[in-house]
Structures are given as C-alpha cells and as structure tokens.
Structure 1
Amino acid sequence: MILDGNQRGGARDLAVHLMKPENEHVEIHEIRGFMADTVSGALREAEAVSRGTRCHQHLYSLSLSPPETENVSVSVFEAAIERIEERLGLSGHPRVVVFHEKKGRRHAHCVWSRIDADTMTAVRMSHDRRKLGALSRELYLEHGWKMPEGLIDPALRSPLNFDRKEWFQAQRAGKDPRDIKAALQQCWAASDSGKALAHALEARGYYLARGDRGRIVAVDTQGEVYALARWIGLKTKDVRQRIGDPDTLPSVEDTRHKVASLVRDRLSDFIGSVTEDFARAAAQLEGQRLAMVERHRSDRSAFDEAQRQRADDEARQRASRFRKGLLGLWDRLTGKHAKLREEIEREADACALRDAQERQTLVDRQRQERLALQKEIDEERRMHVRELARLHREISRTARMQEQDQAISVGSNERRRRSRHRRLEL
C-alpha cells in the first residue's frame, strides 16, 4: 500500500478535493473528533482551532493506495490508519476518512488535525516520509503484495512521475504526460551522441531546438516546447555535454515552422483521421463507463437501504426478547437481563461484521467489472498512441528526405554555378 502524506493548510480546497464529483464513488467513512458531521465542516473546524496557534499547515493529509489488482477490505485500511497514527504521533487526533473509486481503483484519504487541543501546539512531523515508506514496505510484505521497485530501492523509482507543471503542459498539448516523459527518456537512453539523440527524437515526433537562456528543448508536432533536461531528469550541463553547443541548433521558431510545414504538407490529414477514430471509440467506451458508474451507484444505494431495513428488523427482534413489567424487573434482579444483553450485543456485532463483509463483496465485484472495462479503455488508448507513433516515424522519414533533397539541390546548383564560371573564363 503506497502511503503519500504531507502537511498543508487550505481546509476549504482540501474538502472540495475530497468530495470532488470526478470520482466515480465517494464514501465518507469516518468523521472523528469534530462537532461537524460533514467533511467541509470538520476541516473548517480544524482550521478555526489552528487560529489559536501560529501553525499555518495545521492539517496532515494522507492517501492510502493499495495495488490496483488486489481486493482490500475496509478493515485493512482501518488497521493501516491506526498504525500510521501511532508512527506519526497523531493518535487520538480528530480525523476524516474518505474512500474514492475511479477507473476500478479504490483508495482512501485520511486527514488529521495536527493541533493538540489541550496544549494548543502542533505535532511535529519529523521524518514522516521515511516513516511512511517503512510502514508501506511492511504492509506489502505482510499482505503478500508485489512490491513496486521504487519502494524496494528509491533509486529505482518509476521515471514516469511528474509534477503539476509538467502535467498541465502535457494537457495543453493533448497528450498523456507519461507518454511524453517515457518517450524523451527512452530516446536519451538509446542514444550516445547529439546526432543519435536527434534522430531518436524525430522518430517519436520531437525535434531539438535552441530555447531561451541557452536551454536545449524539444519541439513536438503541435509546436509545444519541452525543456529537455527537466523532462528526462538531468542537469542542463549533462544535456549540453552530449548535444554540444546550443547555438548550433535551430531556434524554436525555425523548428516550429519546419514541423508545421511537415505536418501540413504530408500527414496532418492522416493524424486527424486517427484522432477521429480514437475519439469515436473513446466516446463509446465513455458511454459504457458512465452507464456502469450509474448502475454501480444505484446498486450500492439499494444494497445499503436493504441492509438498513434488515438491521432495523433485527434490532427490533432482539429488543423484543427482553421481558417487560414485573417479569422484566425479575430478570434484572436475577441477572438474566444482563446475560441476555451480552448475548444480544454479541449477535449485533456479528450482524455488523456480516453486513460489512457483504458490502465489501459487492464493492469488490463492482471493482473487478470496472477494471475489466478500464483495460479496454487503456488498450484503445495504447492503440491510438502506437498509431500516432507510426505516423510520427513517417514524419521523421519525410523530413530527412526533404533535407537530403535540399542538400542535393544546393550541391547541384553549386556545381552548375562553378561550371558556368569556368566556361566564361575560357
């Protein structure tokens, strides 16, 4: 289970994030230690308490993400949260727990107030990432889950992680940032010189150019500019060492003109056709997804209502077993009432456990159905990416052919000019 936590303020923004409708299912699991009974009210309450201190980042927000293919019960999440509290020194602090489901994946968010109301001081979160990393490894080992390489050794962490700036830049370009980052890093790893890198990038639809302040950038077929060092995770001096003097590269403007000409003249229609095909397929799959989400929500609502009705009926039946009047008083005097109450409490706990297991079974079944659809969605997207990559390779081949034709034309003109000059001298 991946544990990702950070200190923060902004109670209102966090509440909006926890309840955002972009998730297919949002379930408020627990609100503890607050007077309010809503997520927004609880977090604003924590913010109000923090104003009696000098702490600005008065919340600790944590996400708990199990492996997507594992069916993880609520009790496992609850046990992990209790252990996290103990490791971080947040035991007993007010908290909110919310479950999110999207694309067939289920994860939880837990938000604590860092403020100790008795002392009006904030709990220090020293070495929280190290503690969470250690606990995460323990959870993977205890449950027999396959541990990510990046968790085994931080040096092996996936290179596909990206920050918010990279994400929004990629969104503007209409591409998945994971594809962009992987393409640039694979090109770098597969090349040992500036020329080889340029050819590798062109095969993926990217062209080297000279950016501002001496930076080396890559320009894609849509004219979007990517700082090469930033996207492949190296220092600028390392990139310059392989590629050489940035002044030898064309400017971003010249590169954009070149790319635009290539796309416009050769393959823009083909790319548009592929995109239209993908859009149609994606729209159909999106319709299936929306229908499935609505059906799952309806099934959960009906299931919860049926469980509530059954729980009420069972509670009434258990209550009817207590005798009333003088007989009930006699039962209290003889201790029979207390024994019956203990028996009924055990039955109530067993019923609650049964209800939780039944609901978990429903959630797991729906997740498996959603994951199957997500595989179709991902495969459609991969097919789209592969087709675009093929077209980009064609763009690269066409560009090299045009450059060769230009060079041949220039050479021929130069030879004709020299030949005329010699004839004139004779």
Structure 2
Amino acid sequence: MISGAERGKGGRALSAHLLKAENEHVEVIRPRGLGSPGLHEQLEELVALSLGGRTDRPVYHVHADPDPAVVDNDGARALFWRLFEAEFNLASQPFCGAVHVKHGRRHEHRIYSLVRPSGQVVDLAWDYLRRERCARVVEFEFGMPVPTPSKHARAIIKALREAGRDDVAAWMEASGTTEAARPVARLSPQERLIEERTGVPLDDLRAAALAAWQASADGEGFLAALRERGLDLRAGRSGPVVVDATGTAHLATRLIGAAARRTDGTRIPAAAVRERLAGLTLQTHGDGHGRAVGPDHARARGAEAAPGGLGDGAGAGRDAGGADAHRRPDGARDGGGRHGGGGVEHALDRIRARPAAARLRGRLRMLPPGRNAALAEALDAVRARQWIAVPGMVDMWGLPLVEPHRRV
C-alpha cells in the first residue's frame, strides 16, 4: 500500500487537482464537519475553520493507494483511515476529499484541517514513518504476501513491537525487508511537480550536470561546462543552483549528488561540491539586475554606495567623508528603516494593507481562551461572504471592526 501526504495552505488549485478530468473516474466523498455542497466550497470552508490556528499551512492532503493485489480495496482504505486518524489524533477533525480511478487503480484523497477548535495545531512529527506503519498493518491484515519495501523498515518494526503488533513485525522480518537495499524514489513529490510544470526531465538535467562536473576540475571549468550544455550556475538562498532552459533553479549539491548516486551508487558529498564552487562570483538567481555575489560582493556594494569608494571612508548610506547621510546634526535619523521610514504610522499602514484573512487571523490569535464564539462568528462571515463595518468602532490597530452581514 502506498500513501503520500503534503501540508499546505489549501486553495482552489488543490480542489481542482482532485477534480481533474484526467482520472478515469472521480467521486467526491462525503465530508465530515463541513456543510458546503461542492468540493471547492468545502475546501474554502475547511481553510476558514483554520483561521484561528498559529500556522500558515493549516491543511493536510493525504492519499491512500492499496496494492492491486488487495481484493477488497474499499475495506483496505477504510482500515487505513481508521489507523491513520488514530495515529495522528484526527478522528474529530473536519475533512473533504475524493476517490479516483486512474490507470485501473482505485485510490482516495483526503484533505484534513490541522487546527483544532482550541487553536492548537496537530503534531505531524515523523509523519512519513507513522503513515508507513499504518500501511504495513493494512497489508498484513489483507493478506499481502510481502510488505511494500520501505527505507524505514527497521524503525517500523520497532514501533510495531512497542504497540503490541508482534505479528506484523514478525511478518516484515520474515519477508527480508530489513535486509533489502533501501529503495530511493526517482523523484520527490515536489520534483515531480516541477518536472510536470517545466517539461524538463530531471534525469536528463542530472546527467548533464554530472557530465559537466566530471569534465571540469574547478569552479570556472564547471561553469563553462554547464553553459556548453545550455545550463547556467547562479547563487541561490541555500547555495549555488543550476538553472535550466526554463529558468528553474535546482540546488547544485542535490542535483550532482543524486546524479552520481544513480550512475554508480556513490554520492558526491555536498561539501565537495561547495568546496569546488567556493571561489566563484555568481549572479543571484531571479535578480533582474544580475547582482554579483561572491567574496568581493560586500566590498563592491560599499564602493557603489558613494563616489569616494572604500578608500575615502565611504560605505552604504554614507557620504564621501564617511558621514552617515541619514543622520541629522542632532544625531537623530531621517526616515530610517528598511522600508523607507519608521514610526508607528508606517507599521499601521502595512497592517492595513494586509489581506483580510491575514488580519482576521491575527485578531483571532489575540483573543482570550474563550475565543470559540468569535471563531464561529468569523466562519459565519466567510460563508456569508459579506462584511459590514461597525460604525465608530476600531480595534487596537485603528482598523474598523467588522461583523458578518446578516440577511433578513
């Protein structure tokens, strides 16, 4: 049995994905804790229910795909969801979803709310291993001859014994799953989505990056070899990135390491990649001005900030004499701050400019423990889709208080 999961913000793209016509059959399942009629509306309601939680990723998208050898597909899915909800304490959480038939295989998607009525967020620590353990129990109960290979086999067996399921643990050990080579997926879920979006096969990109690596002995040679193959190297947030023909960035250490492992089973360490590329001065990926990043970048920025350059005592925000251009003679600063000005009025402007949902979420977080009534009122307002201002009343930030428009 295969299961997968992804945590996110929700949104219409997710519900549209579950309703895609590319499936041979789509059946919207009966939701729990939701009153909206369609899947799009159910997901909107699910997200609205989560506004009081201290998280910006309030939904959990999970799918369960029993093996074709399991005759009772519906029964296997039902057992998996019972075990899954018990494992993560989700039995009372709202969810919506759909059952798909694709390439002859029947599987189910569910989207759960991770925010409890109290505002507490469900703990998803080690979620992959915990879902795998549920799947192994389902396979055992429905007569699978051997379990699905898993790189967490030893940890799953240990957890099963601690839970009193020695029968399932013994079945896994007898199958030799702990001695088998650990399976490695060709693509992660995120990489699969990137490949679908760009149309660039990741295996081809890995092979080209590895060939450039093997054809070079230093950073400059690697950069030249990449460009010969229609690729480029830029500076990313987590290190150098290889940029493909569509402009999509791929972390160089991960790309080269995965390519080497698939070629001869030996992974090139990330430290070795970083060491070779350490002396390069690279442009920042996504910077339209081609800003340079490298050993001389900090000095270059200081030199560009004033005509006098560093030798004249100038730097960012200073004049040629080295004086702070933002300070008045009395020592105070004029309009300081990264956003072009300080002071409470600027902070209030930024708060007022936030989306309505973000402002509502912040307001709910500041309510006292008995905030469930306020959360219910907020949910009613989202469903009504109309808000009216309370005349003459504002909150602590100076924002007008609003309440749902009640239809007569």
TM-score, length basis structure 1: 0.43
Structure with greater Cα Rg: 1
Give 1 or 2: higher helix fraction.
Answer: 1
Greater RCO (CA < 8 Å, at least 6 residues apart): 1
